[in-house]
Amino acid sequence: MKLVLDTKPNSGYRDELARRYHFPSQYKRLVDEAVGDWVVFRRPRAGGGHMGYIGVGQVECVEADRETPGHHYAVITNFLAFDEVVPWNDSGRYFEAPLRDREDKTYIGRSLRGRSARPLLEADFAAIVERGLSDTLNPANARRLGLTPAETDVATRVLLTAPAPEQERRIAEILVNRKIREASFRRQVVEAYDARCAVTRLRIINGGERAEVQAAHIWAVQHGGPDTVRNGIALSSTVHWLFDRHLISLDQDYRLLVAHNRVPSDLRALFHEHEGRIHLPTDRSKWPSEEYVAKHREMYASA
């Protein structure tokens, strides 16, 4: 069963959408039925910013909260933030069927109180996700996002070129496609860092408005790291290579750490003037997660 899960900052619940959703026992039956399926996260207006759907993920399992009786965690995998917030009311049309079907929409917001977890029809799920990934799936953005025919495999090209109804039918395939996920992740990270390498601070835009900078995962996906902007850092290709091999890292204050005894001498000049705090996003909520940076630093220290 697919669900909508409401979430907002400072709610008192310990949500970390890329990894877990915190909820009281009244929703346990519903969330249990969603295990193995997809959920869409919605941010109410009280959460700040624009009210709407902000991302999607899969429920891997449900675990009891050992610190707070009567509460549980939905363990989330394959989380993917939407390209932009999808409005819950799009020009008068609601994405959720129960809201569309209400004759009196005067107090429709109140009708959701006490329903922070609620079922979502397959068709409504597909429509929300397709709208949420519209920039990533737009052929006009293929060059900028690295999704041109020359850069993708046959399976990915089939998904990207399918008509809208076919894409909606195969939306789950799109959500787990590694190439599409990497493109979405890259877009989020590059935009957060204004297309500027966090270490060298160089900003180069190539043809087709494609940034030279790359999006590096801080905590590697193969080790459990999520495709979220807080698990990403914008780096030029050479710096990315060094970062992935744990030849450089970050301290707890986001200052650069360099293994001078292991970094090739001809590359050390890259860091001669850049061993202070790295270039960070203007939006502090998009700064690298301290937890993910600590995981990378552990690998750096043991390399």
The amino acid at 83 = D
Within a 10 A sphere around the Cβ of 40, how many other Cβ atoms? 23
Q: pLDDT tens digits, residue range 146-175?
A: 999 999 999 999 999 999 889 999 999 999
User: Which of the two residues, 264 and 33, has the higher pLDDT score?
Assistant: 33
CA separation, residue 193 to residues 32, 169, 223, 231, 278 (Å):
38, 34, 24, 13, 11
Q: pLDDT tens digits, residue range 86-111?
A: 998 887 788 998 888 876 767 676 76
Residue 281 CB contacts under 8 Å (≥ 6 apart), including other chains: 192, 193, 194, 287
Mean pLDDT across 34-44: 95
For residue 39, list its beta bridge partners.
3, 57
The pLDDT of residue 49: 52
Q: At which residue do the structure tokens 């290709």 appear?
A: 237
* Per-domain boundaries in the chain: 3-123, 186-302
Strand order in the sheet with 71-87: 20-24, 71-87, 52-64, 38-43, 3-6, 117-119
- The answer to whether residues 40 and 9 touch, using CB atoms and an 8 Å cutoff, is no
**Over the chain, what is the mean pLDDT?**
90
Alpha-carbon distance 175 to 82, whole Å?
A: 11
- Range scoring the smallest mean pLDDT among 198-202, 214-218, 275-279: 275-279
Written as six digits, the tokens of 44 are 């109410």
Task: For the domain made up of 3-123, give the CATH fold.
Answer: ph1033 like fold (3.10.590)
